[in-house]
Amino acid sequence: MVVDLIRKNAVHPRRFQCQFLLNNVGSFQVNFCSKISVPTKYSLLSHASFVTQSFPASSHSKESFQSKDSIISPKNLYRMFSVHHHAFMNPTLRTSLPFLPRYPLQSSFQPIKHFPYPSLPSYGIYSPFVPTTCIRYNSTLSSGSKGLRNPNIPPNPKIHRSQNSFSNPSNPSRPEGQKQSISQSSGESVPKSPPEPKKVSFFNILVLARGQGKKFTVAAILLLISSSISMSIPYVVGKILDAGSGATQIGFTEIMGIPSNTFYMGLLGLFLIGSACNFGRILTLRLLSENIISRLRSRLFAKCLTLDGRFYDSHLHGDIISRLTTDSSIVGKSLSTYLSDGLRSTVSAVAGIAMMLYTSLTLTGYMSLIVPPIALGAFFYGEYVRKLSRRTQDALGDLTRVSEEKLANVRTTQAFLGERQEVHRYNNYIRNLFNLARKEALASGMFFGTTGFFGNATVIAILALGGKMVATGDITVGQLSSFLLYTVYAGGSIIGLSGCFTDIMKGLGAASRLFDLLDSVPQITPTTGTPVPNSIRNSVLTFENVGFAYPTRPKSTIFKDLSFEIQPGMNIAIVAASGGGKSTLSQLLLRFYNPVSGRILANGTDISTFNVQQWRRHFGVVGQEPVLFTGTIRDNISYGNQNATQEEIEAAALRADCGFIYSFPDTWDTQVGMRGLQLSGGQKQRIAIARALLRTPAFLILDEATSALDGEAEVMVNRTIQSLMQNRNMTTITIAHKLATIRSADLILVVAEGKILEKGKFDELSQPGTYFYRLIKWQLGRTDDVAPR
The residue that leads in pLDDT, 360 or 157, is 360
What pLDDT is recorded for position 273?
A: 92
DSSP 100: P
pLDDT confidence band for 133 (50 / 70 / 90): very low
* Alpha carbon distance 676, 285 (integer Å): 41
pLDDT of residue 777: 79
532, pLDDT greater than 70 = yes
pLDDT category of residue 407 using cuts at 50, 70 and 90: confident
**How many CB atoms are closer than 10 A to CB 179?**
12
Q: How many CB atoms lie within 10 A of CB 509?
A: 25
For the cut 50, the answer to whether the pLDDT of residue 294 exceeds it is yes
Q: What is the DSSP string of 195-235?
A: PPPPP--HHHHHGGGTT-HHHHHHHHHHHHHHHHHHHTHHH
The half-sphere exposure of 562 on its side-chain side, counting CA atoms within 13 A, is 31
Instruction: Please report, to the nearest 10 degrees, the dihedral formed by the alpha carbons of residues 295, 301, 306, 312 taken in order.
Output: 150
Give the per-residue pLDDT at 296.
Answer: 81
**H-only helix segments in 336-408:** 337-359, 361-367, 371-408
d(CA 685, CA 724): 14
Query: Is 525-618+700-708+731-789 CATH 3.90.1180.10?
Result: no
Amino acid 342: pLDDT: 80
DSSP percent split of the chain into helix, strand, coil, nearest 5 = 50, 15, 35
Task: List the one residue out of 3, 27, 43 whose CA is nearest residue 118.
Answer: 27
Query: What's the chain's average pLDDT?
Result: 70
Question: Quick one: pLDDT at residue 786?
Answer: 47
Q: Are strands 133-138 and 254-255 parallel, antiparallel or unpaired?
A: unpaired
Q: Please indicate whether the domains covering 207-220+289-518 and 525-618+700-708+731-789 agree at the CATH topology level.
A: no
pLDDT tens per residue, range 709-750: 556 666 776 777 777 666 667 888 888 766 667 777 888 888
Q: Compute the distance between CA of residue 692 and CA of residue 698 in angstroms, rounded to an integer.
A: 11
- Which H or E element spans position 7? strand 3-7
Contact 128, 38 (CB under 8 A): no
CATH superfamily ID and name for 624-696:
P-loop containing nucleotide triphosphate hydrolases (3.40.50.300)
Return the CATH class of domain 207-220+289-518. Answer: mainly alpha
Lowest mean pLDDT, pick from 84-98, 490-504, 705-719, 758-772? 84-98
Least trusted range by pLDDT, from 262-271, 546-555, 698-707 = 698-707
Rounded distance between C-alpha atoms, residue 731 and residue 558, angstroms: 24
Phi, psi (degrees; rounded to nearest 5) at 19: -125, 135
Break the chain into its structural domains and give their ranges: 3-166, 207-220+289-518, 525-618+700-708+731-789, 624-696
439-456 b/e (C-beta count within 10 Å ≥ 16 → b): bbeebeeebeeebeebbe
Angle, CA of 84, 85 and 88, to the nearest 5°: 80
List pLDDT tens digits, range 410-425: 767 777 777 787 888 8
Of the ranges 24-28, 96-100, 442-446, the best mean pLDDT one: 442-446
> What pLDDT score does 570 carry?
86
Most confident of 77-86, 198-207, 391-400, 744-753: 744-753
**pLDDT digits over 191-249, tens only?**
344 455 566 677 777 777 777 778 888 888 888 888 888 888 888 888 887 777 654 44
Which DSSP letter does residue 752 get? E
Q: Tell me, yes or no, if the pTM score tops 0.75.
A: no
The average pLDDT across 25-29 equals: 34
